[in-house]
């Protein structure tokens, strides 16, 4: 794949950061709903609202955007997206939001490695170092002794694997099709798969909770748009470390909604994560400018 210009790298990173803000906000809202409703019902609402929004936005363009030369990739991506959301939401019934987010945030390591193996992206020493440092920061946040490493921790770890597959396929499809095609397929698949679970778990929805259900779907829709755009214009291994910011935002939501104040070690881990992410952006921008300058001199 061609090297992206500095401005495009910056836009890709900004889209990723915005996606993480939206995703963690959605997760915080979902955690509140999951305390009163079964997780599969919340997952269904997340995709059903997304599907409705996509249909409203696209209107007459739906038949055109459903045509694709890559139906298998879209099916795989949609299944991975549904798996990531379902496993993560289900984990929130057993472990805390910050802990689940931290465990899921092993995905940048998996994305960077997967991009090198499957997409042919360069995995240089600086990217490897930044990913390792970010992972160390995540481990500082979820250090042993907090009761995170229980069997339920396998759920967010499974979500991380699904998210990685989703990200890599999105990167592969990005330059080939409209951003709305994966949005359409992902929301349709999620709605249908989620609907299959409803007869076994359905709980009547209180009128007062309807805005929160709608918010979960709307936030998920906006986040998906941002993340598809990010992976479409920037190498996956470049933007992947910024997903660690999810730990920071999840901690903020824990304070605001649940009164869970981070201790010194959590703040230290967050600082390590942000520093590593900014380092990747800085080094990548300098490297691309150097390549661009060399090309102009020739």
At 18 the pLDDT is 94
> Using CA atoms, how far apart are residues 109 and 89, in angstroms rounded to an integer?
22
Domain ranges of the chain: 6-297
Residue 98: enclosing H or E segment and its boundaries? Answer: helix 97-104
User: What tens digit of pLDDT does each residue of 47-91 get?
Assistant: 999 999 999 999 889 999 998 989 999 999 999 999 999 999 999
At 143 the pLDDT is 64
At 196 the pLDDT is 96
Cα Rg of the chain (Å, integer)? 19
Residue where the block lists tokens 């230290």: 268
> Using CA atoms, how far apart are residues 28 and 284, in angstroms rounded to an integer?
32
Cα–Cα nearest to 253, from 27, 86, 43: 27
At 192 the pLDDT is 97
At 292 the pLDDT is 58
In this prediction the pTM is: 0.80
* 120 phi-psi bin (left φ>0, alpha ψ -120 to 50, beta other): left
The CA-atom distances, in angstroms, between 296 and each of 79, 195, 282 are 44, 55, 21
At 220 the pLDDT is 93
At 124 the pLDDT is 75
At 252 the pLDDT is 86
Q: Is 266 helix (H, G, I), strand (E, B) or coil?
A: helix
* Mean pLDDT, each 10-residue run in order, the chain (298 residues): 64 91 93 92 96 92 90 94 95 82 78 77 75 78 56 84 90 80 94 96 95 95 90 76 81 80 74 75 65 55
At 4 the pLDDT is 53
């Amino acid at each position: 794949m061609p090297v992206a210009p500095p401005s495009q790298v910056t836009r890709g990173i900004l889209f990723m950061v915005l996606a993480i803000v939206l995703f963690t906000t959605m997760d915080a809202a979902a955690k509140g709903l999951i305390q009163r409703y079964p997780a599969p019902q919340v997952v269904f609402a997340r995709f059903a609202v997304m599907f409705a929004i996509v249909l409203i936005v696209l209107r007459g363009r739906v038949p055109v955007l459903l045509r694709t030369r890559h139906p298998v990739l879209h099916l795989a991506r949609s299944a991975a997206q549904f798996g990531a959301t379902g496993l993560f939401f289900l984990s929130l019934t057993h472990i805390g939001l910050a802990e689940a987010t931290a465990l899921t945030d092993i995905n940048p390591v998996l994305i960077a490695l997967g991009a090198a193996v499957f997409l042919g992206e360069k995995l240089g020493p600086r990217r490897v170092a930044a990913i390792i440092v970010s992972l160390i920061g995540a481990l500082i946040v979820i250090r042993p002794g907090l009761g995170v490493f229980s069997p339920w921790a396998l759920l967010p770890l499974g979500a991380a694997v699904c998210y990685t597959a989703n990200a890599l396929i999105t990167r592969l499809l990005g330059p080939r099709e409209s951003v709305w095609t994966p949005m359409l397929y992902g929301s349709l698949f999620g709605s249908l798969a989620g609907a299959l679970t409803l007869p076994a778990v359905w709980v009547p929805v209180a009128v007062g909770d309807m805005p929160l259900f709608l918010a979960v779907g709307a936030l998920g829709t906006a986040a998906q748009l941002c993340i598809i755009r990010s992976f479409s214009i920037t190498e996956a291994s470049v933007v992947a470390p910024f997903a660690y910011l999810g730990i920071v935002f999840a901690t903020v939501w824990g304070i605001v909604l649940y009164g869970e104040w981070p201790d010194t070690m959590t703040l230290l881990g967050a600082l390590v994560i942000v520093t590593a992410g900014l380092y990747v952006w800085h080094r990548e921008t300098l490297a691309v400018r150097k390549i661009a300058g060399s090309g102009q001199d020739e």
